[in-house]
Chain A
Amino acid sequence: MKPLLRFEGVTCRRGGRLLFEGLDLSLGAGGGLQLSGPNGSGKSSLLRLAAGLLRADAGRIERADVALADEGLALDRELPLGRALDFWARLAGDSGRSEEAMDRLGLARLAHVPVRLLSTGQAKRATLARVAASGAPLWLLDEPLNGLDPDGAARLDALVAGHLAGGGAVLAASHTPLAGSWSRLELGQ
């Protein structure tokens, strides 16, 4: 079966500094891969490469449709959360999914609250809800646990487990270990 994400001999340089060289990885349906490594070791760059937002200096990258949750909130601050998430769900082709995603992340009662009033943890949940509503098979999560309380972390674990069981794949960069069975890739060695 065709993998959802494949790196072949990928080299990444940022600002003249070599982050990694000749990196191979392959992520198929149901595969979860956790990236770790010190600050500045290239975890976020690897995620942006996987999303197509950066070009590799060498090597090849193949990927399925992706959804990305990084530090950018990417929601209109003046809109109620429900409508802001709906914009992306509709762009991805199905507006009904955003309601379900908010439910799964415990955001249902915040649907009418303007995005600018959300706390750090609520905003993190919102970015995860956008990913959950995208319908993309490959999820790229940058420090998904940042700012989440134990309830949020449990919901994230359930969300990821459900996505993997449904034949999706997840690539997550995180310092703290994530629940469930993950393959690991240590950068910066």
Chain B
Amino acid sequence: MIGALIARDVRRAIGGAAWLPVGFFLLIATLVPFAVGPDPRLLERIAVGGLWIAALTAALLPIDRLVEPDRASGILDQLFVHGVSEEAIGASKLVAHWLTFGPLLLLAALPGSFILGTAPAALGRALIALAVGTPALAALGVMVAALTAGLPRAGAIAGVLLLPLAVPLLIFGAAAAGDGGSGALLVEGSVALLIVAAAPFVAGAAIRAART
């Protein structure tokens, strides 16, 4: 049953605009050198930070298509009537969203790193830190999408909700790329696990609350 839900969301994302966050990600990464100038030493210092900011803003893009269309068309109601729990909906949306967001973002992070002039020594660590962060970014997206579904100006509210919640991820994720021995990657991993574990329950409670 959860498999059918995941397959449906993956199909909708691929048929919809799964490439849009990735394009946005590369666009932001391109803007950074334009904004701060072409000095390679300066770019090298801020490259990982730029990569993370691009990833965070790209994570905002798909939020409006994650939960709201299903709420508006009555699919969430029908899933409940068919005996699917809200937590199962949240979990399957999380998996499906990561599948169509995480790998694509990591793929785009390669050209993104070159645009930003990431130091070759830090490239591997930066990509690993980003890889650890993508499930949490997907989880935050699903949570915020469920919390804002049905609200007017949901897109703007989603941004204001998601970005502060992503701050711990940003701090430790960016730090993990800078210094391999600092243990920042472990802290980032634990923050990501916490967010991923909470997401189905937060999204489930939000879907339930939106129904009444």
Residues of A within 8 A of B (CB): 51-55, 65-68, 70-78, 87-88, 90-92, 130, 134
Contacts and interface: CB of A to CB of B under 8 A. Distances in A.
B8 A68 contact: no
Q: Is the interface of B mostly helix, strand, loop or mixed?
A: helix
Query: Nearest 5 A-B pairs (CB), nearest first?
Result: A72-B74, A74-B74, A74-B78, A74-B75, A91-B82
A71 B212 CA distance: 16
A78 B15 CA distance: 9
Contact of A91 (B12, B73, B77, B84): B84
Nearest to A66: B81
A77 B80 CA distance: 20
Given A53-B77, A130-B78, 6 more contacts: A51-B77, A65-B83, A73-B74, A74-B74, A74-B78, A91-B4
Contacts, number: 52
Given A53-B211, A72-B73, A88 B15 contact: no
B8 A70 contact: no
Interface of B: 1, 4, 8, 12, 15, 73-75, 77-84, 211-212
A76 B77 contact: no
Contacts of A73: 73-74
23 contacts: A51-B77, A52-B80, A53-B77, A53-B211, A66-B81, A67-B81, A68-B77, A68-B78, A68-B81, A70-B74, A71-B74, A72-B73, A72-B75, A74-B77, A74-B78, A78-B12, A88-B78, A88-B82, A91-B1, A91-B79, A91-B84, A92-B82, A130-B78
Contacts of B73: 72-75, 77
